[in-house]
Amino acid sequence: MTMEDLGGLATEASDPRYAELDLMSVAELAQTMNEADATVPAAVQRALPQIVPAIEATADRMAQGGRLVYVGAGTPGRIGVLDASECPPTFSTPPELVFAIMAGGPGAIVNPVEGAEDDAEAGAAAIDAAGIGPLDTVIGIASSGRTPYVIAAVRRARERGALSIGLSCNVGTALSAAAEHGIEVEVGPEVLSGSTRLKSGTAQKLVLNMFSTISMVRNGKAYGNLMVDVKATNHKLRERAIRMVQTIADVDRGAAKAALEATSYDVKLASIMIRRGEDLAAATARLDAADGRLRTALEENRCASSD
């Protein structure tokens, strides 16, 4: 697709329903945007048959030690940065496990870099520089589905044996063709024509939420719906950790807090110590033997108790 063909993209189209946007009141604008945003989850739902197998393949690779890498330019790149940056505090993952590559470099997160998204060579080079390999997953994000930097990065990742995924908001895109898994979330024209930070950006964040969260859940980073690997770095999170241990171990606040203080606020270890009546070393060994999966460790506890 050439630059002249961009007008044919749904994400670049002008919706006649919004032709008098600048004449609307604030209330009318808010209602209009809210109604448009409400269509995004349905668009994501229609794409679930594309999304689900891609997440399954991602989680399998991460279970083997692979990384999850987002690649994007402009708003899609920033959304990738946002989702990746939330993984360490939410799941206690090292920053190199889930990270984002931004066209134009880190500075482009705040200040746009002219021509960065059109630099295909830089996209491929960024994949090489990251040492992408067969266990890794690379998700290229581009609303249009034709961003040269992103397409080149996805194509290079696929050449290096990585799982390659293309996430766009148009149909039959070059990005989908370059990737092993093409995900196309059709959100239609934006309220403000071409402003793909709106519905397109919302759709991308919803899909990335699924990739990071589901991959982590599948790899033992949750117990039920509790984020048991959270880093308790402030008062709110320490209180959350206490409540989680109270729930998991069925103890009062004092017992939960004491166990957490003994483990530097590690919810999994504190829960095992209480449920097993073990010291920190034994609880650590038990959790390691369960590959970090709290449910597995506690199920072994029940089996042992029934002997």
Tokens of 35: 């109604």
Q: Count of CB atoms within 10 A of residue 265's CB? A: 20
What is the phi/psi pair of residue 269, to 5°? -65, -40
- CB proximity list for 271: less than 8 A, separation 6 or greater: 223, 228, 244, 245, 248, 249, 259, 294, 298
The reply to whether 117 belongs to the active site is: yes
The full DSSP string for the chain is: --GGGGGGSGGG---GGGTTGGGS-HHHHHHHHHHHHTTHHHHHHHTHHHHHHHHHHHHHHHHTT--EEEEESHHHHHHHHHHHHHHHHHH---TTTEEEEETT-GGGGTS--TTGGG-HHHHHHHHHHTT--TT-EEEEE-SSS--HHHHHHHHHHHHTT-EEEEEESSSS-HHHHHSSEEEE----S-SSTT-TTTHHHHHHHHHHHHHHHHHHHHTT--BTTB-TT----SHHHHHHHHHHHHHHHT--HHHHHHHHHHTTS-HHHHHHHHHHT--HHHHHHHHHHTTT-HHHHHHHHHHHHH-
Known active-site residue 180: no
Tell me which of 86, 186, 278, 300 is the catalytic residue. 86
Instruction: Spell out the residues 6+ positions from residue 255 whose beta carbon is closer than 8 angstroms to its own.
Output: 249, 274
Catalytic pick among 28, 56, 117, 278: 117
By annotation, the residues acting in catalysis are: 86, 117
